[in-house]
Structure 1
Amino acid sequence: MTPGGGTASEPEALVVRVSGPTATVAHDGEEREARLVPRVPGGPAVAGDRVLLRPDPDTPVVVRVLPRRTVLERGDGHERRPRAVVANADLLIVVAAVADPPLRPRLLDRYLVAGEVGGLEGAVALTKTDLPHDSDEVGRVAARYRAIGVPVLAGCTRDPGFVAAVRELVDGRTAILAGHSGVGKSSLTRALTGVERAVGEISGKVRTGRHTTTDPRVIPVPGGGAVVDTAGVRTFHLPRMDRATLESGFPEIAAAAAGCRFRGCAHDGDAGCAVPGAVSPERLDAYRRMLADMR
């Protein structure tokens, strides 16, 4: 067996990026292209996956995706089928601009739920603080997440102090950068790693960012750790999940729910519910909206 769990005949590798029928994989300190076979066991493969390879003189073949330690999933299609975006990361940093595009806490909540359900530690990075913005509203949003133990950093990607704080948060781990288009994920990736990624402009028509990053890619951070720069989105749908799973994505609601009078309380305003007053109204409203969306 090799140290990662593969064998000499089927070595283990890290998926750096997936693009169509091929993947860039890292093995023994080198990156190379590998072929993805349809319906690979454990797959389909995504960035961050550990996989087994069948060696080939020209192009190795991914023959198995190994079990995932963590996963960020989104809901795909009308039925919101779970679709993996990134595997085996440690931290999900939801990047949001305080202006241009405007701050949207509902998207932050959906990403944080997806991260919590997928076993990821959550954090928020608020960017573009050098632009005119409502500092009181930004302060209220930041306080809401800090109150439940989610780290919140604020600054701009041109500020070395902000970049250093994000690097300290990553702390040698693998971190996913996710959020709306145009909020500065690619600029932050470049500042953290020194690797150039496409950086686009903000769409003047709808004030949302244009997509600049397509396939998620694992990029090492000098000094240790890595970031995965994901494609910007205009919306992020959660996969279908039952009430108990959704509740687990709101740790403060799950903790308060232990005091509810009735087992299986939906926290919809029923008599004997212990949640209202114990959590922020905004987070409870977010939970109720997501629960209604699951029905």
Structure 2
Amino acid sequence: MDLTALGWTADRVADLPPGCEPGRVLRVDRGRLTVHAADGERRVHPAAGLHEGAAPAVGDWVALRGELAVAVLPRRSAFTRTAAGRTSAAQVVAADVDVVLVVDALVGEARVRRIERYLAVAWGSGAAPAVVLTKADLCDDVAAVVAQVAEDALGVPVLPVSSLTGEGLDAVRSLVGPGRTAAMVGPSGVGKSSLANALAGRAVAGTQDIREDGRGRHTTTARELHVLPGGGLLVDTPGMRELALYDDEDGVAQAYADVVGLAAECRYRDCEHRTEPGCAVAAAVDDGRLDPARLTAWRKLEGEARRQLLRVDARARADERKRLRSLHRSMRERPYRAR
């Protein structure tokens, strides 16, 4: 098989260790990898010590030597979250993707804050995000919901689709051309598996009905890379009940570019955007240009990303201590400080 159909590019040859061939990771389970190499699919073992560095993830290109994957080639992008549980470790959900499809459903009220969180991680991945709103056939006013989401999904296409009727599928396919890889992310029950099946033109993922309490079921149990008709590739991921940011300060800034732009206009550099005079953010809230809920969401995600960075980065912790000392000094010197 011509590996360019799987996203291989000639400039990656320099990253291959001598005597190795490339393979794309389709699935990771039980300590073994399903990879697609030039001669087709095969099951291989990760070499001893491979997990000490960057453990292979779905979408990765690995260097193969016989039945061993001996190295993970440098990633061009990665959708990464903090692993679930009491940990600060990173978990790569999908690697070497060109576009991240943030999937939610056009059922009930638009979950704008949840979509913003996914977009923050998507922007930080190095891939281009897009919002896909499924179940358009169950929504009475698709245009209104799309407009509501698009208002806060700055610079991101918002695509309504119906896996049942086929409405909007061509717009999604246009984002996943030959050799391009898309990763679908979102909570359970929003229609990711149905969308994967519709795009693939065959059953590649199981589907189930929504539970009686309205919460989604985990129909996809493992991340898997599927080859689509026309040459695109799609990573289907299990639903995420928890999406904790991992070192995503840049992604948060991109997702909330409007708020960040306003903050740059504040009179004081260390403005907290609450009661300080000359605060451009507070002024935008007061005159209706900025939704207070969006400001609250930005504060929450910015703080979360910052705390995670401090957990994993010693230099960032030192810089934070320096910043806090400077902040305390400036607070003592502020002319508007309460006496």
The TM-score by the shorter chain falls in which range? 0.7 to 0.9
Deviation >6 Å, runs of 4+: none
Which residue identity is paired with 2:173? R
CA distance in 1, matches of 2:233, 2:182: 6
CA distance in 1, matches of 2:96, 2:166: 28
Is residue 213 of structure 1 aligned with residue 224 of structure 2? no
User: Corresponding residue for 2:23?
Assistant: 13
Distance 1:135 1:9, change over 3 A: closer
User: Corresponding residue for 1:258?
Assistant: 264
User: Corresponding residue for 2:170?
Assistant: 164
User: Corresponding residue for 1:70?
Assistant: 77
Instruction: Specify the SS of the correspondent of 1:209.
Output: coil
Q: Which has the higher strand share?
A: 1
Structure 1, 132-141 or 114-123: larger mean CA deviation: 132-141
Which residue identity is paired with 1:220? V
Which one of the candidate residues 2, 23, 27 is aligned to 2:37?
27
Deviation at 1:103, TM superposition (A): 4.0
Runs of 5+ in structure 1 lacking a partner? none
Distance 1:189 1:266, change over 3 A: farther
Which residue identity is paired with 2:170? A
Distance 1:81 1:271, change over 3 A: farther
Runs of 5+ in structure 2 lacking a partner? 1-8, 308-339
User: Corresponding residue for 1:52?
Assistant: 63
Is residue 97 of structure 1 aligned with residue 105 of structure 2? yes
Which one of the candidate residues 94, 97, 122 is aligned to 2:129?
122
User: Corresponding residue for 1:198?
Assistant: 206
Distance 1:103 1:20, change over 3 A: farther
Distance 1:9 1:139, change over 3 A: closer
Instruction: Specify the SS of the correspondent of 1:284.
Output: helix
Deviation at 1:54, TM superposition (A): 2.1
CA distance in 1, matches of 2:177, 2:271: 39
User: Corresponding residue for 2:117?
Assistant: 110
CA deviations over 1:74-106 (Å, ceiling 9, x no partner):
112324432111001011111111217x64222
Which one of the candidate residues 264, 281, 294 is aligned to 1:283?
294
Q: Is the 8 A contact 2:136 2:162 kept in 1?
A: yes
Is residue 226 of structure 1 aligned with residue 236 of structure 2? no
| Identity in percent | 36
User: Corresponding residue for 1:85?
Assistant: 93
Instruction: Compare CA radii of gyration and give the structure with the larger one.
Output: 2
CA distance in 2, matches of 1:103, 1:235: 18
Q: Is the 8 A contact 1:79 1:240 kept in 2?
A: no
Distance 1:177 1:32, change over 3 A: same
Q: Is the 8 A contact 1:80 1:240 kept in 2?
A: no
Which residue identity is paired with 1:250? Y
CA distance in 2, matches of 1:238, 1:95: 17
Q: Is the 8 A contact 1:42 1:64 kept in 2?
A: no
User: Corresponding residue for 1:235?
Assistant: 242
Q: Which has the higher helix share?
A: 2
Q: Is the 8 A contact 1:11 1:53 kept in 2?
A: yes
Distance 1:266 1:248, change over 3 A: farther
CA deviations over 1:180-218 (Å, ceiling 9, x no partner):
1111111111111124211112111x3111101122111
Is residue 182 of structure 1 aligned with residue 182 of structure 2? no
Q: TM-score, normalising length from structure 1?
A: 0.85
User: Corresponding residue for 1:141?
Assistant: 148
User: Corresponding residue for 2:253?
Assistant: 247
Instruction: Specify the SS of the correspondent of 2:137.
Output: coil
Deviation at 1:161, TM superposition (A): 3.4
Deviation at 1:11, TM superposition (A): 1.4
Q: Is the 8 A contact 1:107 1:236 kept in 2?
A: no
CA distance in 2, matches of 1:75, 1:16: 22
